[in-house]
Amino acid sequence: QQAGFSAGVAATVKDHQGVSSLSAPKVKLFVGGEAIESQATESVDVVNPATQEVLCRVPLTTSEEFEAAVKTAKEAYATWRNTPVTTRQRIMLKLQELIRRDMEKLALSVTLEQGKTIGDARGDVFRGLEVVEQACGMANQQMGEFVENVSSGIDTYSIRQPLGVCAGICPFNFPAMIPLWMFPMAVTCGNTFILKPSEKDPGAAMLLAELATEAGLPPGVLNIVHGTHKVVNDICDHPDIRAISFVGSDVAGMHIYSRASATGKRVQCNMGAKNHAVVMPDADPEATLNALVGAAFGAAGQRCMAISTAVFVGDSKSWEEGLKSRASKLKVTAGTEPGADLGPVISKQAKERICSLVESGAANGARLVLDGRGIKVPGYEHGNFVGPTILADVTQDMECYKQEIFGPVLLCMEASSLQEAIQLVNSNKYGNGTAIFTRSGAAARTFQHEIDAGQVGINIPIPVPLPFFSFTGSRASFAGDLNFYGKAGVHFFTQIKTVTSQWKDKDLQGVAMAFPTSQ
């Protein structure tokens, strides 16, 4: 049963030549606590982006298999919803221990399938692990409210109950963290779950399901199906699925939001971004330059909270040399190589898209301060590498500014004042994250108050909140109402029932025909 369960991890980094697609193992479905061979005849290759080696194949789950997964989750819900919250918490307590135990295995799976460096992959796992830790305190977070004597002898209280079967649809860029944003909160609230990992890197999710089972999660509580558009549409349409968490691109997110909410589901969608860093002239040069380079080029820019645009208040030129010298020193190679700073981008198509957006910027008047498009990486000649790239004199009408590039490209812009910089950021459609670099408390306070983005860093380049807060992207970066994890996450995965109760020995009132009011 274990064979092919964690297929991506089994492959080694040494084989750069690749294997033929059909001999690569097929990733299993995970239904009812067991890894199951899919009967699907169609599959998608999972490709190591540094080598083009086909690591495994993701089956396109058939309609019957999907139906069986939902049925299993629905059946498991009947028991799971009645399992004490303390028991559910203890399973999470064990799960966080097992994730720590298998950190290296999980990180290697992420690096092989997604491409990021091993150090960065550990961060991917760790930021998800923190959500599991948060779920260990679910009893506190799921508490209801109680008001005694809302009317004479009458009390009202509210209880937060699970919804039923919930589902999660994941992107490629955080193969461990994002599944962990979703299922630990959902199942600890008492729901059962159907997870659809990215078809590009399902390995970490499969390992996590294995660990959740080892931690004691009963069969059917967490299930994994694989595929692309069709299975996503099946999730949107299924009448027994009550809520969907989605993280990914705008196109998929808005499609899922409208299709699934039309069937009455609760939906939360975290989508694309264009995160600006506003750099004030008084900012600490060393700290700011280091922060910008790390946040722009780390993970090859494939983070929804990457800093992709720097807005320099005053002159950008005085900063360019510092950016260029730091960025040029970064080591671009396979994420498994010692000392790697950034790995490849996810696919050949992603690389082409990134390069063509850089090209269109340059053709429309942007200045190439650093061009990483032609990079050659010894030993990994077939990898999808793009070196750190810096475009200056970028303006708002340029395609490279309007679109999310999602690659190791930093755009530099200028503003004549803090107010002008704030206006620029606020007129961008996205509202995921932003940061200001300054030594002025007054400038930071003005920025924090007036900026229209959901997550603000003050001298912090990637302000992703820890899970006792929520991930609060806004405007075009988010659709829905309740955000991921934290209090909002618990609210997303629960529904409120409000009970009004009265206990009395004798009825003194008789028949009351008027609408009851507080007495």
Which member of 8, 128, 168, 171 binds ligand NAD (CB under 6 A)? 171
172 forms part of the interface with ligand NAD (CB under 6 A): yes
- Residue 224 contacts residue 29 (beta carbons within 8 Å): yes
Shortest reach from residue 230's CB to ligand NAD, in Å:
8
Which of these segments, 280-288, 363-371, 453-461, 471-479, binds ligand NAD (CB under 6 A)? 471-479
Distance CA 194, CA 245 (A): 10
Which member of 89, 156, 158, 249 binds ligand NAD (CB under 6 A)? 249
Distance CA 128, CA 151 (A): 45
Which member of 19, 251, 262, 496 binds ligand NAD (CB under 6 A)? 251
- List the end-to-end C-alpha distance of the chain, in Å, as a whole number: 65
Distances (CA, A) of 482 to 82, 260, 318, 357: 25, 16, 42, 33
CB neighbour list of residue 490: distance below 8 Å, 6 or more residues apart: 138, 141, 142, 160, 185, 189
Shortest reach from residue 488's CB to ligand NAD, in Å:
13
Query: How big, in percent rounded to 5, are the helix, strand and coil portions of the chain?
Result: 40, 20, 40
- Residue 127 contacts residue 116 (beta carbons within 8 Å): no
207 forms part of the interface with ligand NAD (CB under 6 A): no
Task: Rank residues 22 and 251 by Cβ distance to ligand NAD and give the closer one.
Answer: 251
Residue of 230, 222, 172 whose CA lies nearest to 201: 172
Shortest reach from residue 225's CB to ligand NAD, in Å:
11
Q: Put residue 379 in one of left, alpha, beta given phi > 0 → left and psi -120 to 50 → alpha.
A: left
Distances (CA, A) of 20 to 26, 28, 195: 13, 19, 28
404 forms part of the interface with ligand NAD (CB under 6 A): yes
By CB under 6 A, what part of segment 276-305 binds ligand NAD?
304
406 forms part of the interface with ligand NAD (CB under 6 A): yes
Task: Rank residues 58 and 391 by Cβ distance to ligand NAD and give the closer one.
Answer: 58
Task: Rank residues 229 and 439 by Cβ distance to ligand NAD and give the closer one.
Answer: 229
Distance CA 273, CA 515 (A): 50
Which of these segments, 133-141, 226-234, 283-291, 334-342, binds ligand NAD (CB under 6 A)? 226-234
Shortest reach from residue 16's CB to ligand NAD, in Å:
25
Which member of 162, 218, 248, 361 binds ligand NAD (CB under 6 A)? 248
DSSP secondary structure string for all residues of 18-67: ---GGGSPBPPEEETTEEE----S-EEEEE-TTT--EEEEEE---HHHHH
273 forms part of the interface with ligand NAD (CB under 6 A): yes
272 forms part of the interface with ligand NAD (CB under 6 A): yes
Which member of 29, 91, 169, 327 binds ligand NAD (CB under 6 A)? 169
232 forms part of the interface with ligand NAD (CB under 6 A): yes
Helices 85-101 and 177-188, axial angle in degrees (round to 10): 160
Which of these segments, 227-235, 237-245, 329-337, 365-373, binds ligand NAD (CB under 6 A)? 227-235
By CB under 6 A, what part of segment 473-492 binds ligand NAD?
473, 477
Distance CA 519, CA 508 (A): 13
304 belongs to the catalytic site: yes
229 forms part of the interface with ligand NAD (CB under 6 A): yes
388 forms part of the interface with ligand NAD (CB under 6 A): no
Size of the site for ligand NAD (CB under 6 A): 29
Question: What is the x/- site pattern for ligand NAD, positions 303-332, by CB under 6 A?
Answer: -x----------------------------
Helices 177-188 and 203-215, axial angle in degrees (round to 10): 30
Which of these segments, 16-24, 100-108, 207-215, 267-275, binds ligand NAD (CB under 6 A)? 267-275
432 forms part of the interface with ligand NAD (CB under 6 A): yes
252 forms part of the interface with ligand NAD (CB under 6 A): yes
Which member of 247, 293, 418, 436 binds ligand NAD (CB under 6 A)? 247
Phi, psi for 180 (deg, rounded to 5): -80, -20
199 forms part of the interface with ligand NAD (CB under 6 A): yes
Which amino acid is residue 325, in one-letter code?
A: S
Which member of 16, 74, 255, 367 binds ligand NAD (CB under 6 A)? 255
- Residue 112 contacts residue 55 (beta carbons within 8 Å): yes
DSSP secondary structure code for residue 338 in this structure: T
- Set 269, 304, 400, 412: catalytic member: 304
Distance CA 116, CA 365 (A): 32
Active site residue ranges: 304
Residue ranges in contact with ligand NAD by CB under 6 A: 169-174, 196, 198-199, 228-229, 232, 247-249, 251-252, 255, 270-273, 304, 404, 406, 432, 471, 473, 477
